Amino acid sequence: MRVIAGSFRGRKLKSPPTLETRPTSDRLRETLFNVIAPRIEGARFLDLCAGSGTVGIEAISRGAAYVTFVDRSRQMVQLIKTNLDLCHVVADEFELVIMEASEFLRRRLRRKGEPWTVIFFDPPYAEDYLGVLRLFGSGDANDLLDEDGLLVVEHHHKNELPEAVGSLRRLRVLKQGESALSFYEKAAD
């Protein structure tokens, strides 16, 4: 695994020690960042179910101001820390959280923090992650994304996601191999 572009371009990152974690491929990551490029500079980015952290690190490399990495595995969070150290990312550019995605979002909705510009949600394909998506459908979920914010969900290409999640509407779906990316943003009033 490597960083594709930006200030850390070409930097090699450590891979997960087991096949239980499926990192976002270089090709799919490149597609993702081609689409969201106009939103990255100075962005607040949430890498939810971060795994090895490659997507969030790519965001920092391309100019994101701050990235929150969330993963339920202590081992994966340590791997993210190792990869951040390999890129010499300074501590005030990121936050590491060991927690289930749904619990993290519930807590965040209760304490009302600063919204994110981009939320990248990449759960294990075998899990039922529609429950987490429903959290974005709650009335308070508008507080998770800033006004022009974007939710991107990586999923298996055969998993159909809803056209709308609360006030978020799906803009497009990009399929690549076994994977797909669904892009959601707030519906215009």
Tell me, what DSSP letter sits at residue 162? P
Q: What is the pLDDT of residue 20?
A: 61
Strands 145-156 and 44-48: unpaired
Angstrom distances, CA of residue 99 to CA of 22, 72, 125, 127: 18, 4, 18, 16
- Give tens-digit pLDDT for 110-157: 887 889 999 999 987 666 677 777 777 766 666 889 988 999 999 989
- Give tens-digit pLDDT for 62-92: 999 999 999 999 999 999 999 999 999 998 9
The fold of the 26-186 domain, in CATH, is Rossmann fold (3.40.50)
Q: What is the pLDDT of residue 25?
A: 80
Distance CA 12, CA 4 (A): 10
Q: What is the pLDDT of residue 189?
A: 60
Place of tokens 């390999």: 86
> Could you tell me the two tokens for 95?
């936050």
Q: Which amino acid is located at 119 in the chain? A: I
Whether 43 shows a pLDDT value over 90: the answer reads: yes
**Contact indicator for 81, 27 with CB cutoff of 8 Å:** no
**Contact indicator for 117, 146 with CB cutoff of 8 Å:** yes
Q: What is the pLDDT of residue 58?
A: 97
- Give tens-digit pLDDT for 15-39: 887 656 667 788 899 999 999 999 9
Positive or negative, the CA dihedral 93, 97, 100, 105 is negative
Of the ranges 95-104, 110-119, 122-131, 167-176, which one carries the lowest mean pLDDT score? 122-131
